[in-house]
Structure 1
Amino acid sequence: MTEPMPLTAEQFLPVAVAMARREQQQKDGLTLILAPLPNCPACARSAVEVHASETRFPDDTLSLLFRPCGHRFTVAADMGYEVARLAEEIATREEREGGDLLAEYIPPAGEKVSIGQPEPPVFVIALHSDDGTLIVGIRPDGSIQQGPNYQPDAAAAEFWDAVTRAAHSAAPWTEQASG
C-alpha cells in the first residue's frame, strides 16, 4: 500500500465540489441519477466510490480513498473544511443559477484558491455557455465580469436572445413578428 498523497486546496476543490453536488442532490431527494464522482487526482480515473474519513490525532487530516484505483490522499483538516465550505457554496449557487460554476473559482496556474474570502460576485444578469461556463456577468453596480471565453459579439447576441425569450415567456399571448 502506498503512502497517501497530500492535496492542495487547488487540487481538493474540484473533488469537494463534485461531492457537494451529490450531497445537494441527495438532500433534494434524488437517489437514482446523481452527479458523477470526481476523477482521481493522481490517475484521472473515474471514481466509483470515494471514501472520506477524519483523523484527529496525530495530524488532524481528512483522508480520501478513491475506488477502484486505490489512490489515497490527505488534506489538512483546517484547509479541507474551508474548501468544503466553499464547495457547498458553489453547489448551492449552481442549483440556484444553473450551470457549472466551478470554473469561476479555479485560479490561473500558479495562483491559490481564495478560501475564507467574501462571497463570490452576485450577478443581476449572467450569461453562461451550454457547458455552464460564465460568458459574462453584470453586477448590481453595473460592472461586468468576463468569462474565459468572452467574445463581445457573441455575448451581445446571446444577451438579446435572452431578452427576447424573457419577453415572450412574460407575454406568451402576443404575436411574434414573422420575418
Structure 2
Amino acid sequence: MSEPTYLTVEQLLPLAVAIEHRQRQQKRGQQFIRRPLPPCPTCNVAPDEVSTGRPPNHFTGDLGILFEHCGHRFLVDDATAHEATQQAAQIVDQDEQRPAGASASPVAFHAPQPEYVIALRADDGTLIVGIRPDGSIARGPNYQPDSAAVEFWDAVTRAAQAAAPWRSGS
C-alpha cells in the first residue's frame, strides 16, 4: 500500500459529519443502528469501519485515518481536523433542526443499501448469520447457534471499542 495522503477539509467533512452524528446518537443511547460512514475518498468503496490514531512519526501531530475495507490510509493535520470538526458540528446542528422529510445536509451522501445491516462472519469471511434491512434473518451454510452467539458478543465488544473513533486507545 502506498504512503498515506493528506485529506483536505472538503474530503474530511463527510467523515466528520458521520462521526458527529454517531457521537450524538451514542449520547442519546442510540448505539445499535449507526449512521453509515462515507465512502473512501480514493476508491469510493464504503468502509466497514474507520480507525484513527497517530502515525509512527509522532512529531508532526498529524492524525492517521484507515478505511477498513479497502485499506486506504490518510493523514489529517490538526488545522484541517479542527476546521472539519467545527463545520461538522454546525451541519449536524442544522440537520437536527430540519423538519422530518426535508432535504439533507449538503455533505450528505447516498450509501448503497447493504445486504445485511448486521452480519456475523467466520474468520474466512463465510456468513454465519445476517440481519437484512427488512429484518429477515439469513443463516450461513455452517450456522451453529453457539458459535453465532460467541461471534455476536465478539462483534459487540469490537463495536464498543470503536464507539469513540476520534480517541486513540490506551
1:18 alignment partner, SS class: helix
Q: Which amino acid aligns with 1:45?
A: V
- Confirm or deny: 8 A CA contact 1:66 1:72 kept in the other structure: yes
What's the CA shift for 1:96?
2.1
Aligned to 2:106: 102
Aligned equivalents of 1:50 and 1:23: distance in 2? Answer: 14
Q: Which runs of 5 or more residues in structure 1 are unaligned? A: 105-179
TM-score by length of 2: 0.55
Offset from partner CA, 1:29-87 (integer Å, 9 cap, x none): 11121110111111110111000224583212111100111100011112211211211
CA RMSD of aligned residues (A): 2.0
Q: % of aligned pairs identical?
A: 38
Q: Which amino acid aligns with 2:49?
A: E
Offset from partner CA, 1:123-172 (integer Å, 9 cap, x none): xxxxxxxxxxxxxxxxxxxxxxxxxxxxxxxxxxxxxxxxxxxxxxxxxx
Query: Equivalences for 1:28-107 in 2 at 5 Å?
Result: 28-54=28-54, 57-98=58-99, 99-103=103-107
Query: Equivalences for 1:1-20 in 2 at 5 Å?
Result: 1-20=1-20
Aligned equivalents of 2:91 and 2:25: distance in 1? Answer: 13
Aligned equivalents of 1:42 and 1:34: distance in 2? Answer: 23
Q: Which runs of 5 or more residues in structure 2 are unaligned? A: 109-170
1:59 alignment partner, SS class: coil
Aligned equivalents of 2:40 and 2:58: distance in 1? Answer: 26
- Confirm or deny: 8 A CA contact 1:49 1:68 kept in the other structure: yes
Count of equivalent residues: 104
TM-score by length of 1: 0.53
Aligned to 1:26: 26
Cα gap change, 1:103/1:4 in structure 2, threshold over 3 Å: closer, same or farther? closer
- Confirm or deny: 8 A CA contact 1:14 1:102 kept in the other structure: no
Cα gap change, 1:68/1:61 in structure 2, threshold over 3 Å: closer, same or farther? same
Structure showing greater radius of gyration is 1
Aligned equivalents of 1:59 and 1:4: distance in 2? Answer: 14
- Confirm or deny: 8 A CA contact 1:4 1:73 kept in the other structure: yes
Q: Which amino acid aligns with 2:63?
A: L
- Confirm or deny: 8 A CA contact 1:51 1:64 kept in the other structure: yes
